[in-house]
């Protein structure tokens, strides 16, 4: 049975409530910020800035705790794109990342891109790859020229 992560503000807040969490202004604003930025890879600092633009008194640590809770619930995932800060996206939008070290382009690839590698690593080495946590770096077709 596959689990489909919540994808709307109200579904995500319901998941927080079910886990015993309170729904605060900070949590709602954090979720709204994540959903308003599904078209890009958003860092925790970006999320903090967006929430604080609306609610200046919000503590940065509260936003980080909310992100951590959302990740524990499987609502969001984070990954590292090259050497930059961790970025976040909704868990219902699973994909892999290819980052061009020439121009910085981020190419989103299908979630099953590493399936063969995952099988090979498991079979040959007994190793389970955390494939969502990192991006592959290289050169895009334009930078290879």
The tens place of each residue's pLDDT in the chain, 145 residues long, gives 345 566 789 999 999 999 998 999 999 999 999 999 988 889 999 999 999 999 999 999 999 999 999 999 988 988 887 777 888 878 777 788 898 999 988 888 888 888 899 999 999 999 998 877 788 889 999 999 8
| 35 plus 103 within the same structural domain | no
Query: pTM for the whole thing?
Result: 0.76
Please answer whether residues 108 and 97 qualify as being in contact, where contact means their C-beta atoms are separated by less than 8 angstroms: yes
| 86 plus 31 within the same structural domain | yes
Please answer whether residues 114 and 131 qualify as being in contact, where contact means their C-beta atoms are separated by less than 8 angstroms: yes
Domain of residue 59 covers 9-93
Nearest alpha-carbon partner for 44 in 89, 7, 75, 99: 89
What tokens does 47 get?
């999320």
Residue 51 sits in a domain whose CATH number is: 1.10.10.10
Q: In the β-sheet with 76-80, what is the strand arrangement from edge to edge?
A: 42-43, 86-90, 76-80
* Number of folded domains that form the chain: 2
């Amino acid at each position: 049975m596959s689990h489909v992560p919540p994808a709307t503000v109200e579904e995500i807040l319901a998941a927080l409530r079910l886990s015993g969490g309170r729904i605060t202004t900070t949590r709602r604003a954090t979720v709204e910020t994540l959903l308003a930025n599904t078209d890009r890879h958003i860092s925790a600092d970006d999320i903090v800035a967006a929430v604080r633009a609306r609610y200046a008194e919000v503590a940065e640590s509260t936003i980080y705790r909310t992100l951590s809770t959302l990740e524990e619930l499987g609502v969001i995932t984070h990954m590292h794109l090259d050497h930059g800060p961790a970025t976040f996206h909704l868990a219902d939008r699973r994909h892999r990342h290819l980052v061009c070290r020439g121009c910085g382009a981020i190419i989103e690839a299908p979630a099953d891109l590493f399936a063969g590698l995952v099988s090979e690593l498991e079979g040959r080495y007994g190793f389970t790859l955390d494939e969502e946590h990192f991006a592959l770096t290289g050169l895009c077709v334009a930078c290879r020229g």
